Amino acid sequence: MKKTIALIEDEPDIVELISLHLTKAGYAVKAFLSGADFLAFLDKRTPELIILDLMLPDIDGLEICKLIRKRDVTAGIPIIMLTAKSEEMDKVLGLEIGADDYMTKPFSTKELIARVKALLRRHEPQRSLKKIEIGDMLTIDLGKYEVLVGGKRVELTPTEFKILELLSSKKGWVFSREQILDHLWGTEKAVIDRTVDVHIRHLREKIGEAAHLIKNIRGVGYKIEG
Ligand code: CA
């Protein structure tokens, strides 16, 4: 079964270009020129990944992102946001709202495909059945791709999960923002430090009563301990 990638972009040339490359890479592409069309689709189908343009004629990309994250069924779908250079500030906002990655136009389609693959790989359930316990409250089940706080399941975005996975791989070990970014995006350095803080803040909010287990070490980075 081919994985379905939803592409929401109002510029036909970009749609054509991205669709072509995604199809060549073996994905099924569903393209939408407006936010409304996409939301209608989302009511019936769940794509494996979403590529979302920020500036759409009808609905703001950020609004769409919020809607996706709000619904249980769609909350875990990886989202790559497309932004124009002039929308620099919106990138941080996009990540705050729950996008997993973003690309600034003009971008290389090769790079986009690489990120699509990386995000999908990260999102795939892992075969190992490894469970990590932090304190007596937080459980990270790497096999099921699940996080439990006090036995209750918490929905994280793929990026948040990946950060938690990294921090808990070495309890008490401090990871710098750069190391976290490396873990998230490989050698891609076109991301700003602040995005890590944004993801961590979200992660903390979501794990609620276990939030204190993630500690910020001033000027160095983050660690998890319990
Ligand atoms: Ca646009």
Q: Assess whether pLDDT exceeds 50 at residue 225.
A: yes
- Please tell me the distance between residue 35's alpha carbon and the centre of ligand 1 in angstroms: 11
Higher pLDDT, 148 or 177: 148
Q: Assess whether pLDDT exceeds 60 at residue 187.
A: no
- Please tell me the distance between residue 49's alpha carbon and the centre of ligand 1 in angstroms: 19
What are the structure tokens assigned to 89, written together? Answer: 């500030």
* Exposure of 32 in the CB half-sphere (CA atoms within 13 A): 24
- Please tell me the distance between residue 19's alpha carbon and the centre of ligand 1 in angstroms: 16
Q: Assess whether pLDDT exceeds 70 at residue 189.
A: no
First to last CA, the chain: 41
- Please tell me the distance between residue 18's alpha carbon and the centre of ligand 1 in angstroms: 14
CATH topology of domain 131-224: Arc Repressor Mutant, subunit A (1.10.10)
| CA torsion angle 202 203 207 212 (round to 10) | -100
Task: Write out pLDDT tens, residues 86-125.
Answer: 666 666 676 777 888 888 888 999 999 999 999 998 877 5
Could you give the maximum distance between any two Cα atoms of the chain, in Å?
A: 53
Q: What are phi and psi of 141, to 5 degrees?
A: -100, 100
The pairing of strands 175-176 and 221-224 is antiparallel
- Please tell me the distance between residue 12's alpha carbon and the centre of ligand 1 in angstroms: 10
User: What would the mean pLDDT of 205-223 be, rounded to a whole number?
Assistant: 92
pLDDT more than 90, % of the chain: 50
Q: Looking at the chain, which residues constitute the CATH 3.40.50.2300 domain(s)?
A: 4-122
- Please tell me the distance between residue 11's alpha carbon and the centre of ligand 1 in angstroms: 6
Q: Looking at the chain, which residues constitute the CATH 1.10.10.10 domain(s)?
A: 131-224
CATH topology of domain 4-122: Rossmann fold (3.40.50)
